[in-house]
């Protein structure tokens, strides 16, 4: 039976929708302009019809609940969750520079110095979620966004899950090109150790501009991954090659840990000035979504919609936004927030975040986001020249690409 999906409205509450930033099987990500704070956000719009099955709804709930519990400078911050009769709207911080995937494709490959900086940020984000008992399970350059200063922002927690210590999972998920051998085996595996393998593949892609895998047939690709049949190019430094090999160790019991990766000589020999440039910055708390508010949406049992329409909602702005706007003038003279989002009162912050805010200062000069630069507009409109999206269970390669198979490919 064919069911027509309603059209996405032009606005929801104080957010006006602009360009489409990305599209997935069940959602669309739109650029959203907050008319009161004059700031840009990313809005993930999910049709309720796509969440009609219990499995899909629980997956979306897990994604939102994971994101609401995370507050880290290298992870995309959930601002709030809204809804009307037809859609959920997840308001998140906007990362103006797009995906790491496209950044690598545009630059052919990254230098080892830049790759070190980005890999350290990735490891910090992954280490943080692991400390909360969360495995990402879909780490890849497409899910690593870049903010205005080209800092890493981990995103897309659709396959993430809470994992107890030494707890194993069976479900293969994510993108096969970045999935670990044990994930593809169909046997129980440790998703956190699998995340480390994925980081190794990401590092390989950054420094070479290519995937480690040469096979194009799915069965042969899986076999190559499970056997760890790849070569590290000789133009890489010995330390870089050593870290890739240890992160992409087929035997997960011998695979390097996140802590060991942090202490690896290739990561540790960053010049202090470069580290300070990337990390000595103010940490955004970006209107962190209230657990109570999100639970209220998911636990709503009445048949009537929470939000009748955008006009009605605009008269009842969420408490998070209201609190932030009341303090907007008072905070106008303070140092700019990295993500240009409303600042929460400190009562909403964990002790850890307050401490981190005190220890960090922004060293990145940021433009105001009231207007998006022509360069950013062109980047958002730029077609993917090196790769194209694949569908179904087969890999698709761009015949015009000069480099080996940098592709988008995911499990169903």
Long-range contacts of the stretch 276-281 (C-beta < 8 A, 24+) = 276/363, 277/363, 278/117, 278/120, 278/121, 278/151, 279/121, 279/360, 280/360, 280/361, 280/362, 280/363, 281/73, 281/149, 281/151, 281/338, 281/360, 281/361, 281/362, 281/363, 281/364
Is-contact 209 387, C-beta < 8 A?
Answer: no
Kindly report the length of the chain: 412
- Report the C-alpha gap between 45 and 145 in whole angstroms: 18
- Ordered DSSP codes for 92-116: EE--TT-BHHHHHHHHSS--HHHHH
Is-contact 102 22, C-beta < 8 A?
Answer: no
Q: Which of 142, 161, 163 is nearest to 153 (CA)?
A: 142
Does 44 appear as a known binding residue? yes
Q: Which residues pair with 11 in a beta bridge?
A: 16
Catalytic residue among 84, 138, 156, 195: 138
Q: Which of 67, 63, 36 is nearest to 51 (CA)?
A: 63
Burial of 360 (0-12, 13-18, 19+ CB in 10 A): middle
190 is a catalytic site residue: no
Catalytic residues: 138
Which residues are known binding-site members? Answer: 44
Which residues are known binding-site members for ATP? Answer: 44
């Amino acid at each position: 039976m064919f069911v027509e999906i309603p059209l996405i409205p032009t606005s929801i509450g104080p957010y006006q929708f602009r360009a489409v930033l990305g599209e997935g099987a069940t959602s669309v990500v739109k650029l959203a302009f907050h008319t009161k704070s004059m700031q840009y956000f990313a809005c993930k719009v999910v049709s309720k019809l796509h969440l009609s099955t219990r499995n899909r709804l629980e997956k979306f709930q897990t994604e939102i609940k994971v994101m609401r519990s995370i507050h880290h400078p290298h992870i995309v911050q959930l601002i709030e969750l809204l809804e009307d009769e037809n859609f959920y709207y997840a308001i998140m911080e906007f990362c103006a520079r797009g995906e790491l995937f496209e950044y690598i494709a545009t630059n052919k490959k990254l230098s080892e110095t830049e790759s070190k900086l980005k890999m350290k940020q990735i490891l910090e984000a992954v280490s943080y979620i692991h400390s909360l008992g969360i495995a990402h399970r879909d780490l890849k350059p497409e899910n690593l966004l870049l903010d205005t200063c080209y800092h890493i922002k981990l995103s897309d927690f659709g396959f993430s899950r809470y994992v107890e210590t030494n707890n194993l999972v069976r479900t293969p998920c994510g993108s096969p090109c970045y999935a670990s051998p044990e994930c593809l085996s169909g046997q129980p595996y440790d998703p956190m150790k699998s995340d480390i393998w994925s980081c190794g593949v990401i590092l390989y892609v950054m420094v070479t501009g290519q995937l480690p895998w040469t096979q194009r047939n799915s069965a042969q690709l899986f076999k190559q991954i499970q056997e760890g049949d790849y070569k590290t190019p000789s133009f890489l430094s010995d330390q870089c090659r050593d870290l890739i090999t240890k992160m992409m160790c087929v035997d997960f019991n011998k695979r390097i840990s996140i802590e060991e990766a942090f202490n690896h000589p290739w990561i540790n020999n960053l010049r202090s000035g470069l580290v300070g440039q990337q990390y000595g910055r103010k940490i955004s708390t970006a209107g962190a979504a209230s657990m109570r508010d999100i639970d209220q949406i998911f636990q709503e049992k009445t048949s009537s919609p929470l939000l009748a329409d955008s006009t009605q909602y605009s008269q009842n702005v969420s408490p998070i936004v209201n609190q932030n706007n009341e303090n907007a003038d008072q905070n106008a003279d303070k140092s700019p927030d990295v993500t240009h989002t409303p600042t929460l009162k400190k009562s909403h912050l964990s002790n850890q975040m307050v401490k981190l805010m005190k220890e960090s200062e922004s060293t990145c000069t940021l433009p105001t986001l009231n207007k998006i630069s022509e360069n950013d507009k062109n980047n958002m409109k730029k077609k993917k020249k090196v790769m194209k999206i694949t569908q179904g269970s087969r890999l698709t390669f761009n015949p015009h690409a000069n480099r080996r198979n940098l592709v988008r490919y995911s499990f169903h």
